[in-house]
Amino acid sequence: MVGIAAWGAYAPRLRLSRKAACAANAWVAPNLMAKAKGERAMANWDEDALTMAVEAARDCLGPGDGRSHVDAITFASTTAPFADRLNAGVVSAALTLEKSIAGADVTGSQRCGLTALAQALTSVRGGAAKNALVAAGEHRRARAASAQELDFGDGAAAFLVSADGPAAEFLGHGVVTDDFVDHFRSADGEFDYNWEERWIRDEGIVKLVPPAIAAALKQAGLEASAVTHFCFPSTFNGMGATLAKRCGIAPEAVRDTLGSVMGEAGSAHGLILLAHALESAKPGDIILAAQFGQGAEALVFRVGEGVASGRPRRGVTGSLTDRKEEANYLKFLFFNGLVEWDKGMRAEKDNKTALTTLYRNEDMILGLVGGKCRETGVVQFPRTRISVAPNNPGVDTQDPYKFADRTARVLTYSADYLTFSMAPPNHYGMVDFEGGGRIFMDITDVDPGDVDTGLAVKMMFRLKEVDEKRGFRRYFWKAVPDRAAAAKPAALAAE
């Protein structure tokens, strides 16, 4: 019974108010006021498609001490940070997966998220993999004062596919490949170029998606009326209902696209809607997920008895609940690189990355893996040949020790306005981990006054710095307030 064993999702905490964005652009684009309702997910300056995919995958897999069963990983995105570097390899390293894992990137179409999931299902069914992880993330840029910057949203989703996926059994797959250009972005382009909406709806979606749906249902041996949940992402109002009527799917089966609370997360959005459907689905329900993009892709699942055990800690619902409204439209422009601004002399430094050091310390930098002395039990970061244990500096006595999923609290901190920061003040400090170990690190997703000694924090994979001269991105882990644990008493004693 090949299918989905677990799933996860991630949406950035910031939500750009569409009303604020429309008001800021009313002088030049008053027509946008028709889109002034709701909000869209807005990535922080240190988030991109890759970091969001890592967080969705962590939500899917759970704590990171038992991930050796994952033997294949696919990263799907049309906004991957690297054009010639295996982005899936970075995700794998951040998740501390085995080196023997098979990895691949899938891109080039808005339906590439569903394509990646279909390939994983086929791979597991054929025996090429036993447990395949699919992670999709999207962070699309749009021109200021455009409809796209209001329609788009940032987010990610992840699925673990296994030979006995208890959460949802894979029933059928349908695909149509056709070079219908509804929009495009060249290899050196910054923004999408979009064609006329009516043409896309009437000649593209309405004609290309139904055959893919029909093929998937035929392979599943089901009638369209059997579909309980129909997931179809689109920025066009009522598009899902139009397709449902055309294909014979019950109107009540059409799922909300989450456009008013998140926006559309491109190639990741089909998977996000599938994850959202699984959160409320009951055993026996039939889920049909479809997405348009140079043709169409459709997948059919039957929800299994193990759907409850596969539910993630946060999922789509938890990510959307953990939100902070952002009414500063200028901040959105800054974070997305749409404004040329004076960063000051303190930002003038060469950020060349020592690739040899990155490789030799990959598990520490990308996986946040420290060391634990076998003789004394002392935990430390970074891991070194000589233990920092008092009075017993053992040599080569340390085993890998993972920090990323351990609870922690702020021991000391600074809110620095003097050093350069994309979101001043620059928060950083000493973080004390339950079970031992301290790391001096950045604190993100906070405003002035949010940080104090004893603040409960969790680790999140984020962008550390960008080498703009060479186009290289450096990633590391940062502390983020753990709002779920904020009410709990401090478990760590400050020395």
Interval 338-368: pLDDT, tens: 999 888 888 888 889 999 999 999 999 999 9
Domain membership of residue 355 (yes or no) is: yes
Domain membership of residue 392 (yes or no) is: no
Domain membership of residue 299 (yes or no) is: yes
State how far the alpha carbon of 476 is from the alpha carbons of 280, 363, 416, in Å: 34, 11, 20
**415 with 294, same domain?**
no
CB 432 within 8 A of CB 494: yes
pLDDT recorded at residue 66: 82
Q: 106 exposed, middle or buried (CB, 10 Å; 0-12, 13-18, 19+)?
A: buried
pLDDT recorded at residue 475: 98
pTM of the predicted model as reported, rounded to 2 decimal places: 0.96
pLDDT recorded at residue 494: 41
With a pLDDT cut of 90, the percent of the chain lying above it is 92
pLDDT single digits (tens) 3-62: 999 999 999 999 999 999 999 999 999 999 999 999 999 999 999 999 999 999 999 999
Residue 232 has pLDDT above 80, yes or no: yes
Q: CA-to-CA distance for 369 and 168, rounded, in angstroms?
A: 33
Domain membership of residue 62 (yes or no) is: yes
Q: Detail the DSSP E strand segments found in 395-495.
A: 398-402, 408-416, 426-433, 438-442, 456-467, 472-481
Q: How far is CA 416 from the centre of its chain?
A: 29
**16 with 111, same domain?**
yes
**57 with 106, same domain?**
yes
491 confidence band (pLDDT: 50, 70, 90): very low
Q: How far is CA 379 from the centre of its chain?
A: 30
Residue 65 has pLDDT above 80, yes or no: no
pLDDT recorded at residue 122: 97
Helices and strands of the chain, counted as H and E runs? 14, 22
**261 with 330, same domain?**
yes
**247 with 352, same domain?**
no
> Checking DSSP bridges between strand 131-138 and strand 72-76, what pairing results, if any?
parallel
Domain membership of residue 150 (yes or no) is: yes
Structure-block tokens of residue 304? 């299994």
Q: Would you give the DSSP letter of residue 81?
A: S
For the ranges 32-41, 336-345, 396-405, 482-491, which has the lowest average pLDDT?
A: 482-491
Listed residues 293, 312, 335: the one ending a domain: 335
Any bridge partners for residue 243, and if so which? none
**289 with 349, same domain?**
no
**312 with 418, same domain?**
no
Q: Please state the rounded mean pLDDT for residues 63-70.
A: 87
Residue 495 has pLDDT above 80, yes or no: no
Residue 493 has pLDDT above 50, yes or no: no
pLDDT recorded at residue 488: 54
**147 with 249, same domain?**
yes
pLDDT single digits (tens) 136-193: 999 999 999 999 999 999 999 999 999 999 999 999 999 999 999 999 999 989 999 9
Q: 90 exposed, middle or buried (CB, 10 Å; 0-12, 13-18, 19+)?
A: buried
Q: Please state the rounded mean pLDDT for residues 255-260.
A: 98
**273 with 173, same domain?**
yes
